[in-house]
Amino acid sequence: MPQVDPRQTIQDAAEGGYAVGAFNMHNEETTEALVRAAERAKAPVFLQVGRAIVPHMGLKRAYEMTRRVAEESEANYVIHLDHGPWDEVFEAIKLGFTSIMYDGAHLPFEENIRTTRKVVEVAHAFGIPVEAELGKIPNADEQVDWSAYYTDVAEAERFVAETGIDFLAISVGIVHGVPLAKPQPLDIQRVKEIEAAVGIPLVLHGASGVPDNEILAAMAAGVHKFNADTDLRLAFRSGIEAMWAQGDRQLEDAMTEGRERMIAATVKKMELYGCAGKALPAGKR
């Protein structure tokens, strides 16, 4: 089936008070897991070509694999570039991505504005929405001064106004990966203040390991896209390890079990985010 409109998908979530899940794939089996979960949950899904798979197989091959698996399904899906650097963003546009994230968060603020604005100009000319990030997200269990990592509300307001982005990824206590120690609580008040200042849907990366009650609170405060990878990757890994623990088994057996566990874990995320049951029938896409 063809892709659904990413702007409308997020707008529907914002109007409906739920969020859409955005998940990374790592090979064919994990791509199938995400698509089958979307079918099973009757949920829209952002299939994210991200930072792990691009070095592994290249952007073009990763996109083609994702598109092929998704087109053979009945899922409501968007193929989204996650954390794309400058050159990769324009390659993604040429390849046919319908949603992109340009990551200039590591740049000085003024340069982030300048480069993001240019990406938006080009992407919008092709009808493609742009997500960008403001603030910094540390790795799990990294010791940081959170005051230097949180997204600044005034900067967020200026950044959105001057770049014209469609979705803003923010830092409010999230991390990449799942922390072993007690996680930093999300700053829900900051989410509310940013949402009021920018007036566009917000995104939280690093949603793995965040307690359910905080996910729900962030959603109520204005987050309508959650990016999660580690929880699902660990589910896939658990299936492989469980199969190999039985002795010498075929790799295909292990990957099949991993895929099934990842499907179940993804469906749970979709149910938590409230997007389960929100897929559009084929005739209404």
Q: Which residues are catalytic?
A: 82
Residues 6+ apart with CB under 8 A from 161: none
Phi, psi dihedral angles at 135 (to 5 degrees):
105, 175
| C-alpha to C-alpha distance for 161 and 142, rounded to whole angstroms | 32
Cα angle: 113, vertex 117, 118; to 5 degrees: 125
Residue type at position 153: V
- CB neighbour burial string for 10-42, b if at least 16 within 10 angstroms, e if fewer: bebbbeeebbbbbbbbbbebbbbbbbbbbbebb
Could you tell me if 225 and 10 are in contact, meaning their C-beta atoms sit under 8 angstroms apart? yes
21 closest CA partner among 49, 48, 51, 45: 45
Residues 6+ apart with CB under 8 A from 264: 37, 235
Could you tell me if 151 and 194 are in contact, meaning their C-beta atoms sit under 8 angstroms apart? yes
Strand, coil or helix: what is 67?
A: helix
| C-alpha to C-alpha distance for 31 and 150, rounded to whole angstroms | 32
> 10 Å Cβ neighbour count for 84?
27
The tokens describing 194, both together, are 């940013």
